[in-house]
Amino acid sequence: MTVGCASGLIAASALYFSLHLGLYAAVFRKLAVFGSERRILRYHLISAIVFSPLVLSYGLVCDDISALTAAVGLIFAHGVYSLSFLELWALADNSYSIGILLRVMQSGAVSRLRLQSELAEIGRRKKQARLASLSGLHLLRRESGAVKLSTLGLLLSHGLACLVWLANSEETG
């Protein structure tokens, strides 16, 4: 009985993940509204918000520690699935490095200086757009032409600096 409860939950969740991915592959990827990062993020966020309490409730109702353990493991498995999906989707959407590789592929061989000057303009535009977006997310405060981090932005920048320190990376961006 106890093994059946946990394995039933795992089988049902595997079916749910397949349906979630299958629905995107069969229907949503053909819709232009699913071409935005926010929409794709929401597709996975809603799924996680619905899935997590459902499997936890099932684990609690089963009154079996194995089912509860499986439920927590399945929430992490949903995290692995959603993160992998979002990373691949973002890579396909607009990666700067992939843009550089594509530009080199199109021209066969290209001078480094020419490539730098061509792509720097995209960088300039991206920088302006990111400043506006960080300000929209309340991570920055603009005061009479000056830019300052908000409390949330300061916390986030400390976290990011810690990750950069761990990876011993000298140059970011």
Partner 1 sequence: MWFVYSLCSWFLAVTVHAVLCRLSLPFGTVARFFIAGSGVGISLSCFVCASHGIYSVETFSALSAYGFLCELYLFLSTLAMASISSNLLIRLKGNRLQEQDLIAMYDADRMVAVRIERLLAAGLLAEDSGRLHLTRAGTRIVTGFQRLRAFCRDFERIDTGAERRGG
Site for partner 1 in 66-125 (CB under 8 A): 66-67, 69-70, 72-74, 76-77, 79-80, 83-84, 87-89, 91-93, 95-98, 100-102, 104-105, 108-113, 115-117, 119-121, 123-124
User: Which residues 6+ apart lie within 8 Å of 122 measured at CB?
Assistant: 96, 99
* Residue 41 or 110 with smaller CB distance to partner 1: 110
- Contacts with partner 1 by CB under 8 A: the residue count is 82
**Closer to partner 1 by Cβ: residue 49 or 120:** 120
Binder among 29, 39, 42, 138 for partner 1 (CB under 8 A): 29
Query: Which of residues 6, 43, 44, 62 is near partner 1 by CB under 8 A?
Result: 6
Q: Half-sphere exposure (CA, 13 Å, Cβ side) for 155? A: 4
- Spatial CA neighbour of 149 closest among 138, 164, 159, 160: 138
132 lines the binding site for partner 1 (CB under 8 A): no
Euclidean distance between the first and the last CA atom of the chain, given in angstroms as a whole number: 54
Q: Please return the burial class of 64, using the count of CB atoms within 10 Å of its CB with bins 0-12, 13-18 and 19+.
A: middle
